[in-house]
Amino acid sequence: MAERQVTVKSEVGLHARPAATFVQTAAKASLDVTVSKGYGEPVNAKSILAVLSLDVREGDTVVIRAEGEGAEELLDQLAGIASAP
């Protein structure tokens, strides 16, 4: 299983538009993708409600995991979204 640890830089954290973009990108992949706040309980990265429930704020660290072919590329995309200012 591939993994990325990312510090969220957006002023709004992983909420609203950044969360929607993150979830839409994850949902396009056929892979299993999870995200957690730090090393807490992971949630389905394809579910907007699950991602919003993490209450990720600016400066928090998230861990994104994916398994399967193309996982590294998908994680690169998701990490870019999560770390965008």
CA distance linking residue 73 with residue 58, whole number of Å:
24
| Known catalytic membership, residue 15 | yes
Residue with tokens 């209450």: 55
CA distance linking residue 50 with residue 71, whole number of Å:
20
Beta bridge partners of 34: 44, 65
The answer to whether the Cα torsion of 83, 17, 3, 37 is positive or negative is: positive
The catalytic position among 4, 8, 15, 71 is: 15
Residues labelled as active-site residues: 15
